[in-house]
C-alpha cells in the first residue's frame, strides 16, 4: 500500500532521474580518448557525445563541433539520440501526471480511486523512461569496451567510458526506482468498504461513513397500549397504565443504534 511519504520519495527520485538524463543527453562526455602507448599528442583529450565532438587542447582551449549531417551518423548513434529524447519526454509527462495523482496535492481530491490510478500511471511513465535511458547507455558502453579491446582498432581511435555514461546509468536506475514507488498506488485496496460508501461490522448492519442520522423503521405492532413505539422524531414512546389514564413518557434514542422496531 503506497503512502503519501512513499509517493513523495518516488516523485523526487523520478525528478532526479529526469535531471540526470537531461544532463547526459546534452553534454558530449560519452566517449573519452584513451591515452595508451608512448606517443606524444598535442591534444590532451577528445570527447564525443550524441550531438557534438570536442577537442581539449594542451593549451587549455576547448573547441566543440556539432555533427553536420544526421544521415552520415551511424545507426546506433541515431537510435541513441531518439531514445534519449523519448525518455526525456516520457519523464516530463510522468512528472506532470504524478503531481495530479499524489496524495499530498489537492488535485482530483473528490475521486480517490481515480487519484490513485493517476499516480500509478505517472510511475509507469517514469519506469518506461528509465528503461529507454538505460538502453542507449548500455549500448554505447558495450561498443566502447569492444573497440577498446579489439586488436584491429588503432590505438589512436580507441576511447574510454565517459562520465555521461555513468550518469546515465544512475539516472535510469533512479527513474525506474521512483516510478516503481509511484506505481504501488495501483495496489492500494479498499478494505472494509461496502456499496455506496457504507461499511459493515459484525452483524452486517450498515451505517454511513460520515456519521449522520440513523434510519428508523417504525413497527406498527409496537404502537399499542402498554408497548413501546417510535415517533417520527426518533424518540421512544413508553405507555404506562391502561386506557386514557395511562401516561406517555418520551425517551430519546441513543445515537449510533439501528432501531428495527422489535423489542
Q: Which domains does the chain have, with CATH numbers?
A: 4-187 (1.20.140.150), 215-254 (no CATH)
Q: Which pLDDT score is estimated for 179?
A: 93
Residue 199: φ, ψ to 5°: -110, 160
Q: What is the pLDDT of residue 72?
A: 82
Are the CB atoms for 217 and 260 separated by under 8 Å?
yes
Q: Helix (H, G, I), strand (E, B), or coil: what is residue 225? A: coil
Q: What is the pLDDT of residue 97?
A: 92
**pLDDT, position 204:** 41
Helix (H) / strand (E) containing 46: strand 43-48
pLDDT along the chain (263 residues), means of 10: 79 94 93 66 71 82 84 88 95 92 78 80 94 94 90 83 94 95 73 40 44 50 47 49 49 48 45
Q: Contact, 123 vs 98, CB < 8 A? A: yes
pLDDT at 7: 87
What pLDDT shows up at residue 262?
Answer: 45
Q: What is the C-alpha separation between 11 and 208, in angstroms, rounded?
A: 35
Q: Which of 81, 183, 162, 90 is nearest to 130 (CA)?
A: 90
Q: What DSSP state is assigned to residue 221? A: G
| Model pLDDT, residue 215 | 52
Cα–Cα dist 125/95, whole Å: 8
Amino acid at each position: 500500500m503506497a503512502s503519501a511519504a512513499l509517493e513523495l520519495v518516488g516523485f523526487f527520485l523520478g525528478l532526479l532521474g529526469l535531471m540526470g538524463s537531461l544532463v547526459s543527453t546534452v553534454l558530449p562526455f560519452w566517449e573519452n580518448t584513451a591515452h595508451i602507448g608512448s606517443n606524444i599528442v598535442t591534444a590532451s583529450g577528445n570527447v564525443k557525445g550524441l550531438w557534438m565532438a570536442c577537442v581539449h587542447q594542451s593549451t587549455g582551449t576547448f573547441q566543440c563541433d556539432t555533427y553536420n549531417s544526421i544521415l552520415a551518423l551511424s545507426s546506433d548513434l541515431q537510435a541513441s539520440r531518439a531514445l534519449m529524447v523519448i525518455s526525456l519526454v516520457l519523464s516530463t509527462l510522468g512528472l506532470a501526471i504524478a503531481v495530479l495523482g499524489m496524495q499530498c496535492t489537492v488535485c482530483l481530491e473528490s475521486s480517490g480511486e481515480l487519484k490513485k490510478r493517476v499516480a500509478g500511471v505517472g510511475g509507469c511513465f517514469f519506469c518506461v523512461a528509465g528503461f529507454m535511458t538505460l538502453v542507449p547507455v548500455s549500448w554505447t558502453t558495450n561498443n566502447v569496451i569492444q573497440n577498446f579491446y579489439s586488436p584491429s582498432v588503432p590505438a589512436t581511435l580507441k576511447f574510454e567510458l565517459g562520465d555521461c555514461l555513468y550518469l546515465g546509468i544512475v539516472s535510469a536506475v533512479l527513474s525506474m526506482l521512483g516510478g516503481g514507488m509511484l506505481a504501488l498506488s495501483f495496489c492500494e485496496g479498499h478494505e472494509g468498504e461496502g456499496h455506496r460508501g457504507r461499511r459493515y461490522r459484525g452483524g452486517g448492519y450498515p451505517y454511513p461513513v460520515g456519521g449522520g442520522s440513523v434510519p428508523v423503521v417504525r413497527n406498527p405492532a409496537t404502537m399499542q397500549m402498554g408497548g413501546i413505539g417510535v415517533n417520527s422524531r426518533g424518540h421512544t414512546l413508553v405507555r404506562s397504565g391502561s386506557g386514557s389514564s395511562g401516561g406517555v413518557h418520551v425517551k430519546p434514542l441513543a445515537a449510533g443504534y439501528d432501531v428495527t422496531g422489535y423489542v
